[in-house]
Amino acid sequence: MPLPRLKEYLDRNNIKYVVISHSPAYTAQGIAGLAHIPGKELAKTVIVKLDGQLVMAVLPATFHVDLEMLRKATNARTATLASEEEFKGRFPECETGAMPPFGNLYDLPVFADETLTKDKEIAFNAGSHRELIRMAWEDFRMLADPKIIRFAAGRTAKAA
């Protein structure tokens, strides 16, 4: 079952979404393959520390976070990947690494890479390594209110 907190939030806001169940998978590209979703439409959530503060960086699964681009785009002095130890307590009802990209539910700022704006729909982990939620990009943008900037670079795997 998708994360109850997220499902309640989407339902309360009358958002149309689909829950996609799949075999357990722990990498964004693995999930995309199992769920038959192009990697560019699967949004992965990466927890980053900007000047020591946790933030969510949301980008297509086929890319990786360019920390220097993110640092410059946010006018931060430092940008580092957060360790699991630094963030897992922030998402107690989520499996580690399967956080949905709704920082507003966890009191975290959200930065979304501009490449996501080109998709009509996005899919993302629903709090577990076995379920995704797929919904309209515009609905995600309205609810999560991410700051749209450019910070994704390269292809982490074959292009989808």
Give a yes or no: residue 160 inside a domain.
no
pLDDT band at 23 (very low <50, low <70, confident <90, very high): low
Residue percentage of the chain with pLDDT more than 90? 66
Give a yes or no: residue 45 inside a domain.
yes
Give a yes or no: residue 122 inside a domain.
yes
Give a yes or no: residue 159 inside a domain.
no
User: Is pLDDT of 130 > 70?
Assistant: yes
Task: Tell me which residue range forms the domain holding 32.
Answer: 4-153
User: Is pLDDT of 159 > 60?
Assistant: no
> How many structural domains is the chain composed of?
1
More confident position, 60 or 21: 60
Pick from 73, 68, 153, 63: nearest CA to 111: 73
Question: What is the per-residue pLDDT for 158?
Answer: 40
Measured between alpha carbons, how far is residue 47 from residues 94, 101, 125 in Å?
Answer: 14, 10, 14
Question: What is the per-residue pLDDT for 68?
Answer: 97
Give a yes or no: residue 57 inside a domain.
yes
Query: CATH number of the domain that 59 lies in?
Result: 3.90.960.10
Give a yes or no: residue 86 inside a domain.
yes
Give a yes or no: residue 158 inside a domain.
no
pTM: 0.88
Evaluated on CA atoms 3, 4, 7, 10, the torsion sign reads: negative
Give the C-alpha separation, 85 to 129, whole Å.
18
